Amino acid sequence: MSTVYDVPAWELIQEVAEILKSDHPEVTPPPGSQFWKTGVHKEKAPERPDWWYIRCASILRKVYLTGPVGVSRLRTVYGGRKRRKVALARSVKGSGSIIRKAFQQLEKAGLIERVERKGRRISSEGRSLLDRAAHKVYVKLEKVAT
C-alpha cells in the first residue's frame, strides 16, 4: 500500500479536498471566507470557490509529514513575499486565523488531535484517510503511465 510519501503533493491534496468536501460535514468554509486574503502578502482573496477544502487538505498533509506542528510554524509555510513598492521585498507569514479555524474543524472531524504544549498531530483516522487517498492517487497515476 502506498503512502503520502509516494505520490505527488498536488494530486493528493486535490483528492483529499474532494473527500473532505463529500464525507466530512464538519469541514466547511466559515461565513465570509470568500472575501478573506490568505496573508498580508496577497492582494486579493483566492479565486477558486473550493479553496477552503484545498487549504484544509494541505494543512492535513503538512501535519502528517511534520507533526506535531503549531499555528506559528504553518504560518511560515503559508507565508510569502511581500512587495513594498520602492523598498525591497520581505518575507512575511500567512494568515494565522485561517490555519487556526482549519485546525479546529479538522479536530472536530477527528482527523487531527492536540498534543499539549507541542501543537497538533495526525490522528489514526486522519492517517488512514490520507493513506487511502494516496493509494487511490497512486493507482490512478499507475494506470496513466501504462
For residue 33, the domain's CATH number is: 1.10.10.10
Three-state DSSP state, 121 = strand
pLDDT of residue 66: 92
pLDDT of residue 80: 93
Which secondary structure element, helix H or strand E, spans residue 39, and what is its range?
Answer: none
What is the domain range of residue 22? 4-145
* Domain tally, the chain: 1
pLDDT of residue 29: 93
pLDDT of residue 141: 93
pTM passes above 0.95: no
* Those residues with Cβ within 8 angstroms of residue 2's Cβ, 6 or more apart along the chain or in another chain: 131, 134, 135, 138
Which residue stretches of the chain have pLDDT < 70? none
pLDDT of residue 89: 93
pLDDT, one tens digit per residue, over 44-64 is 999 999 999 999 999 999 999
